[in-house]
Amino acid sequence: MRRFLRQPGGRLASIFAALLFAMSAVMGSYLYSACQKASADYTSLISDIVLAQQATPQLRAALEESSRLPDSEHIQYIDYFISLSKQHLNNIQRSIERHRYLIADVKYLNTHFSELHSRLSDLRQEVQEAQQRPELRDPLQSMAMEIGGAQSWLYNQLLEKVRAISVQQRLVMQRLSIAVSALLVLMVSAATTLCLAVIYLRRQRNTMHQLMLTDELTGLYNRRHLVNVTSATLIQAQRDQAPLSLMLLDIDHFKKINDTYGHPIGDEVLRQISKQLRLLCRPSDTLARIGGEEFCLLMPNTATYDALQVADRLRREIEVNTLTDGVRHASPTISIGVTTCQSGSLTFEQLYSFADKALYQAKAMGRNRVESLLPPNAPSPYNAPLTYTLTIIGEPSDS
């Protein structure tokens, strides 16, 4: 991850992802607040206001009735409606307190609530005194009209506020749907960005891994990978008690090809020979370029005789195979050294040493040929001496 962040593309992707997450957090906070506001239910508050509005004319009617028929029953009737009006006011105030988004909008009405409570209490006291003092009955009507007007104004103000908030709720719902869509787009974008970043990081890692294990020019494995594979294959050969052969291949007179035709032609020769060798190898073999013009072929479960047959087939194919235009005139050949390890008893360095000596013999004996050199105490093919040479008929060369 640190390697990814150090790269320009990785830093941009990280910054973009961080911005998307920050925007998503802001949008999420807004959505939460909007959902709370949009989900507020003012039904109970509206019901309380409607009931309070119905009680106001009933109180007026009771006062008018008491002025014509002043008796104790009407006084109790008026007292009941005064208590009912105060109860409605209390219910409305409690409903407002349950809606935190409404409290700030109707805060200016708090004094009106207090005044109504006080005036209803005064009205109750005036009604009780009017029983003893008939001259006070006429002012009750005007007091009731004033209280009724104040109640109507208060309830209308509350209804207007609730209607305005309902309109805001509809707008919030519309914005909420837009915000949800935008949030989904941001989340999908963030997820896509992260996925692309992970894919890019994985590709970069695979590319780096591939560069560490392969030769850039030919695409074959390099010496590092060959050593690792050989170590594991030797352990498996020792476990299975199976033979393992190693083959070194070297292009003959490669320096002369570079000097005569130039290094671009030499590189093309390396590429085309690598391609031919790769096509001729078995899937279980490991082919690597370990030097300038030197290749190595690791062949598990392969005895010396079989390895020599494979080596000679590779040599002949390279000799007779026509290269493509541009490098056809180079006519390269290869020399091969072969060695075999029984039961994984040697190391890579030891195997390489024997194969290198066999390759040196092939070079010394005229090139374009295959030579083998087996470790001491190794079974020789055909029960011949430990050093087995396969003579190749070809034109002699001068070193």
pLDDT tens-digit map of 224-259: 999 999 999 999 999 999 999 999 999 999 998 888
Res. 71 pLDDT band, cuts 50 70 90: low
Question: How far is Cα 71 from Cα 85, in angstroms, rounded to an integer?
Answer: 21
Is residue 242 domain-shared with residue 383, that is, in the same domain?
yes
- Name 335's bridge partners: 250
Q: How far is CA 374 from the centre of its chain?
A: 55
Pick the closest to residue 150 from 122, 106, 116, 114 (CA basis): 116
Pick the closest to residue 147 from 272, 59, 74 (CA basis): 59
> Which residue did the predictor score with more confidence, 222 or 385?
222
pLDDT at 395: 40
Which residues are within 8 A (CB) of 121 and not within 5 positions of it... i.e. 6 or more apart?
Answer: 86
In a domain, 330, yes or no: yes
Is residue 124 domain-shared with residue 262, that is, in the same domain?
no
In a domain, 284, yes or no: yes
Q: How many domains does the chain have?
A: 2
In a domain, 215, yes or no: no
pLDDT tens-digit map of 166-225: 777 777 777 777 777 877 787 787 778 778 877 887 887 777 777 788 888 999 999 999
pLDDT tens-digit map of 313-352: 999 999 887 677 666 667 889 999 999 998 778 889 999 9
Is residue 122 domain-shared with residue 237, that is, in the same domain?
no
Res. 397 pLDDT band, cuts 50 70 90: very low
Question: How far is Cα 392 from Cα 314, in angstroms, rounded to an integer?
Answer: 13
Which residues are within 8 A (CB) of 205 and not within 5 positions of it... i.e. 6 or more apart?
Answer: none
Is residue 168 domain-shared with residue 275, that is, in the same domain?
no
Joined tokens for residue 162: 């609730």
In percent, how much of the chain has pLDDT > 70?
Answer: 76
Q: Which of 65, 160, 293, 319 is catalytic?
A: 293
Pick the closest to residue 218 from 316, 289, 303, 306 (CA basis): 289
Is residue 126 domain-shared with residue 254, that is, in the same domain?
no
pLDDT at 390: 42
Is residue 376 domain-shared with residue 316, that is, in the same domain?
yes
Which CATH number is 98's domain given? Answer: 1.20.1420
Is residue 246 domain-shared with residue 166, that is, in the same domain?
no
pLDDT at 213: 85
In a domain, 7, yes or no: no
Please say if the pLDDT value at position 85 is more than 80: yes
Which CATH number is 359's domain given? Answer: 3.30.70.270
What is the domain range of residue 335?
Answer: 223-390
pLDDT at 391: 40
Is residue 228 domain-shared with residue 189, that is, in the same domain?
no
Joined tokens for residue 88: 């409605």
In a domain, 286, yes or no: yes
Question: How far is Cα 147 from Cα 115, in angstroms, rounded to an integer?
Answer: 10
pLDDT tens-digit map of 28-63: 666 666 665 656 667 877 888 888 777 777 766 766
Is residue 173 domain-shared with residue 258, that is, in the same domain?
no
Please say if the pLDDT value at position 112 is more than 70: yes
pLDDT tens-digit map of 125-166: 877 776 677 666 667 667 777 888 888 888 888 888 888 877
Pick the closest to residue 293 from 319, 317, 263 (CA basis): 263
In a domain, 213, yes or no: no
Please, what is the Cα angle at 306 between 304 and 307, to 5 degrees?
60
Active site residue 293: yes
In a domain, 214, yes or no: no
Is residue 164 domain-shared with residue 272, that is, in the same domain?
no
Joined tokens for residue 110: 């708090």
Of 193, 210, 234, which marks where a domain is finished?
A: 193
In a domain, 397, yes or no: no
Is residue 229 domain-shared with residue 183, that is, in the same domain?
no
Is residue 235 domain-shared with residue 345, that is, in the same domain?
yes
Please say if the pLDDT value at position 124 is more than 90: no
pLDDT at 198: 77
